[in-house]
Amino acid sequence: MANILVIDDETKMTYLVEGALSEAGFTVTAVNSPAEALKLIDQHSYDIIITDLTMPDVSGMDILEKARQKGDAEVVLMTAYGTVETAVEAMKKGAADYIMKPFPMDELVIICRKLEQRLKLRGLSSLLAGDLKNALYDKFIGKSSAAKEMLEMITKVAPTEATVLLTGKSGTGKELAAHLIHENSSRKDQPFIPVNCAALTETLLESELFGHEKGAFTGADRRKLGRFELADGGTIFLDEIGETSPALQAKLLRVLEERQFVRVGGIDNVEVDVRVIAATNKNLKDEIGKNNFREDLFFRLNVFPVKIPTLAERADDIPELAEYFLTRSQYKNKQLSADVVDLLRSYDWPGNIRELKNIIERAKILAGGEPIEIEHIGIEDETESVPLGRTDNISVESGLEATEKEMIIKALEKSGGNKTDAAKSLKITRRRLYSRMKYHNI
């Protein structure tokens, strides 16, 4: 919730405003001395400042000017009928709104809620202009037993508030899994904010996560809301959490335990209501043993672990995934032949779903709108130039190569062209069969 400073030289007025805003959930500081208010603005960070316009010695206009110099606080003026024109002039100079005394307290609460939302939208707009721009999530594809097991875990944990730790190899779709959890939770109408912890230096990551105050460092010309603040009410996804430094891990631990933090260059606690989903491709228990990861943070994150299977473990999903990528790109010949499907299923997929997506993109370009064939797939096989039965790089006689070619042809004839059966009869994998067929131009 927003941090609000209320200023009025009338004690009764500050008492009423502070009570109404505190009851609405805001963090409120109320003072009757405008001079004291100026000192507070210097020392602390406020999201909204509500000030009377006409006060002795220091006016509401002076407060507005000080607020503009300090940072990005939204200023609301409380004014009597005779000073409306002055209030309008103040808005031209940067005040956010004004309200005429006497006023119902719920009207002021509504103004503050709108300003709080404006601050968050401003931060989200800045974020969308960066790495979240045009962020689209694929729908989940998968009916394999491994995929069903993962979905069952997601279905169980999504409606809860539990912190989730997603583990799995790079390219398996951990962010998509995190998004599925968010979309099936009570927070689905609130922001889903992802952060790639491996993409930024420690200093930049701290500012990205927790935000910073104006003047916190060179180039910090205005206050910036961090991703924890922008995710308030929703979900933050901390990808590659294993790449964070021990110092930053300590700050993350505090957020998980207390749901509050301090912006870089600030001194005030910022409270947030966020659900945390973290992901890693590392074995965090091993990292704890190496003193690279805090054990207490691991236990805070590992409330509900979910393992994301590799694509090799989801081999039955490969044809549907490949056709989905073709459909999404509106490729007209999205149907894959049995030979292409066999080849895709026989590959190990070290790069997982990300590699499959890239290979399909390449195949689509090479096929040029025509049906995708084996030669368009381009899966490299280190055994391609090595004849059957050989595991080294020693050259072989042409007679042995001819014999191998004849063996493959006979096996294919015997199986009626069924490459799976032919590979079994030759006691090799389908992938090896395809590579040797390519080598011999069969």
> Quick one: 253 and 395 in the same domain?
no
Q: Where residue 385 falls among pLDDT bands split at 50, 70, 90? A: very low
Spatial distance between the Cα atoms of 154 and 164, rounded to a whole number of angstroms: 9
**Residue 128 lies inside a defined structural domain of this protein:** no
pLDDT at 128: 56
The domain that holds 263 is classified in CATH as 3.40.50.300
Are 68 and 186 part of one and the same domain? Answer: no
For 297, the token pair is: 């943070």
Q: What is the pLDDT of residues 77-115, one digit of tens each?
A: 998 876 778 878 888 888 999 999 999 999 999 999 999
Asked, for residue 108, whether it belongs to a domain, the answer is: yes
Domain shared by 84 and 178, yes or no: no
Q: Is residue 315 part of a domain?
A: no
pLDDT single digits (tens) 290-340: 999 999 999 999 999 999 999 999 999 999 999 999 998 889 888 898 888
Domain that holds residue 70: 3-117
Are 283 and 191 in the same domain?
Answer: yes
Residues 84 and 185 in one domain: no
> What is residue 163's predicted lDDT score, i.e. its pLDDT?
97
Q: Is the pLDDT of residue 127 over 70?
A: no
Same domain flag for 178 and 275: yes
Q: Across the chain, what does the average pLDDT equal?
A: 88
Total of domains in the chain: 3
Residue 288 in domain: yes
- Sorted by sequence, the CB contacts under 8 Å of residue 4 that are 6+ apart come out as 21, 26, 27, 28, 29, 46, 47, 48, 49, 50, 112
Last residue of a domain, one of 273, 307, 341: 307
Instruction: Based on the fold, state whether residues 157 and 291 are members of the same structural domain.
Output: yes
In this predicted structure, the answer to whether residue 434 has a pLDDT above a threshold of 90 is no
- Nearest alpha-carbon partner for 429 in 311, 314, 359, 348: 348
Q: Which residues contact 42 (CB under 8 A, 6 or more apart)?
A: 66, 70
Q: At what angle do helices 246-258 and 202-210 cross, to 10 degrees?
A: 10
Closest CA to 296 of 241, 238, 257: 257
Q: What is the pLDDT of residues 30-74, one digit of tens each?
A: 999 999 999 999 888 899 999 999 998 899 999 999 998 887 789
Choosing from 117, 134, 155, the residue where a domain stops is 117
The average pLDDT across 367-376 equals: 90
Domain end, chosen from 97, 117, 137, is at 117
Helices (H) then strands (E): counts for the chain: 19, 14
The answer to whether residues 152 and 300 belong to one domain is: yes
Whose CA is closest to 230, among 244, 211, 249? 211
- The confidence score (pLDDT) of residue 283 equals 95
- Determine, yes or no, domain membership for 135: no
Same domain for 55 and 177? no
C-alpha 251/C-alpha 248 separation (Å) is 5
What percent of the chain has a predicted confidence (pLDDT) above 90? Answer: 61
150 shares its domain with 232: yes
Confidence of residue 219 (pLDDT cuts 50, 70, 90): confident
Shared domain for 103 and 161, answered yes or no, is: no
Helix (H, G, I), strand (E, B) or coil at 175: helix
Q: Same structural domain for residues 18 and 62?
A: yes
Task: Tell me which DSSP letter residue 134 carries.
Answer: T
